[in-house]
């Protein structure tokens, strides 16, 4: 599968724990996005990378959230001190330079209990 891949697919964690998700974009896509989707809603933008640079962060991304893309390839999204309100599907998408089409991964479904 040469599409966007995310790991893990599902994560159940206790409130207060830290979690980290990984996204591998389509090869050679230099743009990478994280979105969050809750039940019955459309995806909401969280943050955007161009190569290794994090160029934009949403106000939704509280101080407990951090994202990295150290080598301009895969990216990680970490949530510290998880809260029940963090329960959602976390989607990663990528696109190539000069293109507008963004392709999504399968997402990581986070459940905070």
Binding site for another protein (CB under 8 A): 4, 31, 33, 35, 40-45, 48, 50, 55-56, 91, 95, 100-107
Give bridge partners of residue 31 from the DSSP assignment. Answer: 50, 95
Pick 5 or 13: Cβ nearer another protein: 5
| Closest C-alpha among 3, 42, 15 to residue 111 | 15
| CA-wise closest residue to 109 among 37, 45, 46, 42 | 37
Instruction: Report in angstroms how near the CB of residue 110 gets to another protein at its nearest.
Output: 15
Toward another protein, which CB reaches closer, 70 or 98? Answer: 98
- Taking the CA atoms of residue 80, residue 81, residue 82 and residue 85 in that order, the dihedral angle to the nearest 10 degrees is -110
Residue holding tokens 């209990």? Answer: 113
For residue 106, the minimal CB distance to another protein (Å) is 5
Question: Which CB sits closer to another protein, 20 or 29?
Answer: 29
In the complex, the smallest distance separating the C-beta of residue 95 from another protein, rounded to whole angstroms, is 6
Query: By the 8 A CB rule, do 68 and 61 touch?
Result: no
Select 8 or 16, whichever has its Cβ closest to another protein. Answer: 8
Q: How far apart are CA 18 and CA 36, in angstroms?
A: 17
In the complex, minimum distance from the CB of residue 88 to another protein, in angstroms, rounded to a whole number: 14
């Amino acid at each position: 599968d040469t599409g966007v891949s995310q790991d893990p697919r599902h994560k159940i964690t206790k409130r207060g724990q830290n979690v980290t998700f990984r996204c591998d974009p389509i090869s050679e896509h230099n743009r990478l996005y994280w979105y969050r989707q809750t039940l019955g809603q459309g995806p909401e933008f969280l943050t955007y990378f161009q190569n290794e640079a994090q160029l934009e962060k949403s106000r939704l991304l509280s101080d407990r959230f951090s994202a990295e893309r150290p080598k301009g390839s895969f990216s990680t999204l970490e949530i510290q001190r998880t809260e029940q309100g963090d329960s959602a599907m976390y989607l990663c998408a990528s696109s190539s330079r000069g293109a507008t089409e963004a392709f999504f991964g399968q997402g990581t479904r986070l459940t905070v209990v």
